[in-house]
Amino acid sequence: MSLFIIGHMGLFFYTKIGSIISIRDLPTTNIIEPFFRCFNHLIFE
């Protein structure tokens, strides 16, 4: 269970860093990021 949580924490930080880096380079990030926000919200809430 702890590995499950750590894995999703890593995914959360990876998507955050990735969105900050590529938000200005890839327009598709505007479509992908809300999906990851919803995904993380469902996991942590």
The runs of H, that is alpha helices, within 1-45 are 2-22, 29-44
Q: What is the pTM of this model?
A: 0.27
Domains of the chain: which residue ranges? 1-44
Predicted confidence pLDDT, tens digits, the chain (45 residues): 566 666 666 677 766 766 665 555 555 556 667 777 767 777 776
Q: What is the pLDDT of residue 1?
A: 54
Query: 11-38 burial, b for 16+ CB within 10 Å, e for fewer?
Result: ebeebeeebeeeeeeeeebeeebeebee
Q: What is the pLDDT of residue 26?
A: 56
Q: What is the pLDDT of residue 9?
A: 67
Taking the CA atoms of 38, 15, 45 and 4 in sequence, report the sign of the dihedral they define.
positive
Residue 45: how many CB atoms within 10 A of its CB? 5
